Amino acid sequence: MYKLFKRSHVPGIFEVQMSGACDPGIARDHNEDAIAIQEDDGRGYLLTIVCDGMGGHSAGEVASALAVGVLGEYIEREFTSGKTPDELLREGFSLANERIDEQAQANPSAHGMGCTCVAVLGVKDRVWVAHAGDSRLYRVRDGSVEQVTVDHTMVQELVDQGLLTPEQAATHPYRGRISRCLGHGKHKSDASINELVLEKGDNLLLCSDGLSDVVPMEELQALVCQRDVRDASRRLIEAANKQGGPDNISAIVMRRVV
Q: Does residue 214 or residue 5 have the better pLDDT? A: 214
8 A C-beta contact, residue 103 and residue 113: yes
Q: What are phi and psi of 65, to 5 degrees?
A: -65, -40
Q: Is the pLDDT of residue 186 over 80?
A: no
Q: Residue 84 — very low, low, confident or very high, per pLDDT cuts 50/70/90?
A: very high
The DSSP string of 44-76 is S-EEEEEEEEE-TTTHHHHHHHHHHHHHHHHHH
* Mean pLDDT within 191-209: 97
* Mean pLDDT within 143-153: 95
pTM for this predicted structure: 0.94
21/146 Cα distance (integer angstroms) = 21
CA distances 158 to 118, 172, 180, Å, are: 22, 11, 15
Q: How many CA atoms lie within 13 A of 105 on its CB side?
A: 9
Which of the following CATH numbers is that of domain 2-144+179-256: 3.60.40.10, 3.30.365.10, 3.40.630.10, 3.40.50.1820?
Answer: 3.60.40.10
Q: What does the domain layout of the chain look like in residue ranges?
A: 2-144+179-256
